[in-house]
Amino acid sequence: MPSAKKTLLINALLVTTLIFSACSSSKTTSSSNSENASEQRNNQPSIAELEEIYWARIDSSKMNFTEADVKFMTGMIGHHAQALIMSGLAPENGASPQVQTLAARIINAQKDEIASMQTWLRDRDQPVPEVHIDGLNLMIHGTGMDHSNHMNMAGMLSQEQLVELSGAKGKEFDRLFLTYMIQHHQGAVTMVKTLISTDGAAQDEQAFRLSTDINVDQITEIERMKLMLSKIESESKD
């Protein structure tokens, strides 16, 4: 092509390139705020690196635990499991709708907490108690604790008391359930207190959180149950 036209074409291309590069750079300088932001992003690790850091930190945060934390989790799993047995009796034993709602809530909450505690132990390479419930019988496998150990925890019902509860119906069941569950919950609160009175315990965030949640929920339930119980007891005096 004629050189004049060629020059024109090259110039046009140059200008076009200049325009495009000018346009793209102007994006990042449009405001100092976004400039800082994009600079920050350029200095930040990539998504893959961020994820690596994240998971590494999560893992290392799990290493900050003590024997007391392990004992708490292990024991509380068995403790919760008994609450499941007690609460499971409510529907068939003709409990009042209120007690049935409460029992359902206890089952849902404590089942999930058992799973959380098992995960906590597993993550820290500790023996994980597996819960097996057969009627009124509670069996804990996998911790090297013998069968009878878990019965000694604060607030736990004896087998006789469990049998007594399972034989009660209607209003009598309500009364016994509330009485025994209050005692059971108070035991859990005691276990939390023991935990936090121990040096180094509950430094681990998950252990603190779980134990605090258990503490708060069960204290709340104790108060509600006391009220329900006193209502029943005042009615039976009439």
Partner 1 sequence: MKLNKLTKTGVFKSVWIFLFSAALMTYACSSTEPMMDVDYTSPTVNSLSNVDSPTPDPRVGLGAGLFDAEEAIWNLNKLSSTPPPEAFLGVTNSDLAFKGKYAIQGNYNGVLVWDISDPANPVLVKDYLCPASQSDVSVYGDLMFVSGEGLSGRLDCGTEGVQQAVSDERLRGIRIFDISNIEEPEYVANVQTCRGSHTHSVLKDPNDDENVYVYVSGSASVRPEEELPGCSDMSPDDDPNSALFRIEVIKVPLSNPEMSKIVSSPRIFEDLKAPPTHGMSPADAIEIEKARKAGAFIIEFNGQETVVPDRFVAQLMTNALGVEGEPTAADSAALREQLPAIVARMFGGGDGDGEEDDRGGPTQCHDITLYPEIGLAGGACEGYGLLLDISDPANPTRIDAVADSNFSYWHSATFSNDGKKVLFTDEWGGGGQPKCREADPMEWGANAIFTIENGKMKFQEYYKLPAPQTSQENCVAHNGSLIPVPGREIMVQSWYQGGISVFDWTDPNNPVEIAFQDYGPIAADRMANGGSWSVYWYNGAIVSSEIARGLDIFELEATPYITQNEIDAANTVKLDYLNAQGQPKFVWPKTFALSKAYVDQLERNKELDNAAVKMARQSLANAEAANPKVRKKILTELADKMDGMASDNEKVKMLAESVRGLASNQ
The only residue of 22, 24, 97, 125 in contact with partner 1, by rule CB under 8 A: 97
Sign of CA dihedral 200, 213, 219, 73: negative
The only residue of 96, 126, 149, 186 in contact with partner 1, by rule CB under 8 A: 96
Kindly state whether residue 6 participates in binding partner 1, applying the rule CB under 8 A.
Answer: no
Kindly state whether residue 57 participates in binding partner 1, applying the rule CB under 8 A.
Answer: yes
- Residues 115-154 within binding reach of partner 1 (CB under 8 A): 116, 119
Kindly state whether residue 58 participates in binding partner 1, applying the rule CB under 8 A.
Answer: yes
Among the listed ranges 13-21, 127-135, 150-158, 201-209, the one in contact with partner 1 (CB under 8 A) is: 201-209
The only residue of 37, 133, 151, 163 in contact with partner 1, by rule CB under 8 A: 37
Kindly state whether residue 62 participates in binding partner 1, applying the rule CB under 8 A.
Answer: no
**Least distance CB 53 / partner 1 (angstroms):** 5
Distance CA 44, CA 10 (A): 40
Kindly state whether residue 29 participates in binding partner 1, applying the rule CB under 8 A.
Answer: no
CB count within 10 Å of CB 178 equals 25
For partner 1, which is the closer residue by CB, 64 or 149? 64
Residues contributing to the site for partner 1 (CB under 8 A):
31, 33-34, 36-38, 40, 44-45, 47, 50-51, 53-58, 61, 64, 94, 96-98, 101-102, 105, 108-109, 112-113, 116, 119, 170-171, 192-193, 196-203, 205, 208-210, 212-213, 215-217, 219-221, 223-224, 226-227, 230-232, 234-236, 238
